């Protein structure tokens, strides 16, 4: 009886997660890979390619990388971005969103990969 109670308590208790969360490199993420992750929470690492407009309602930072898509990290309203420098590598967690923008007046399609409402992650 005691052994059965012990087994049940061990089965019910969830072990601590040992899963390692790997950060995706936003600069190397292909549009197809980003499209599969659209709307999902992600952890990304990126190199700052532009400084945010600190007066903007939702400040954004461009990420360096493959130029076949515009890559950015868009902070939530009222978020204090802090001091960032060009070339600085950051790791954040947020929701990945992709967009295709088709222009009527030119034959180009803009591909955008964006991480929204990021939270900084300690390295």
CA distances from 107 to 28, 80, 113 (A): 25, 38, 20
**Which residues of the chain form beta strands (DSSP E)?**
24-25, 41-47, 60-62, 70-74, 89-102, 109-120
The confidence score (pLDDT) of residue 50 equals 94
pLDDT tens for 89-116 read 999 999 999 998 887 887 777 899 999 9
CA dist., res. 16 & res. 118, Å (int): 25
Placement of tokens 């599969």 in the chain: 36
Contact at 8 Å (CB) between 31 and 96?
Answer: no
Instruction: Map out the domains of the chain as residue ranges.
Output: 20-120
CA dist., res. 115 & res. 72, Å (int): 6
* CATH no. of 20-120: 2.40.50.140
> Strand order in 60-62's β-sheet?
24-25, 41-47, 89-102, 109-120, 70-74, 60-62
Nearest to 97 by CA among 113, 75, 77, 118: 113
pLDDT tens for 23-81 read 999 999 999 999 999 999 999 999 999 998 877 889 999 999 988 899 999 998 878 78
CA dist., res. 6 & res. 75, Å (int): 48
Tell how far CA 118 is from the center of its chain: 6
């Amino acid at each position: 009886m005691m052994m059965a109670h012990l087994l049940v308590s061990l089965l019910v208790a969830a072990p601590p997660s040992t899963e390692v969360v790997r950060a995706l490199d936003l600069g190397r993420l292909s549009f197809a890979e980003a499209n599969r992750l659209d709307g999902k929470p992600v952890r990304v690492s990126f190199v700052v390619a532009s400084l945010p407009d600190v007066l903007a309602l939702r400040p954004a930072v461009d990420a360096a990388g493959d130029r076949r898509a515009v890559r950015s990290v868009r902070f939530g309203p009222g978020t204090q971005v802090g001091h960032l420098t060009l070339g600085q590598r950051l790791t954040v967690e947020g929701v990945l969103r992709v967009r295709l923008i088709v222009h009527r007046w030119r034959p180009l399609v803009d591909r955008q990969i964006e991480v929204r409402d990021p939270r900084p992650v300690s390295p």
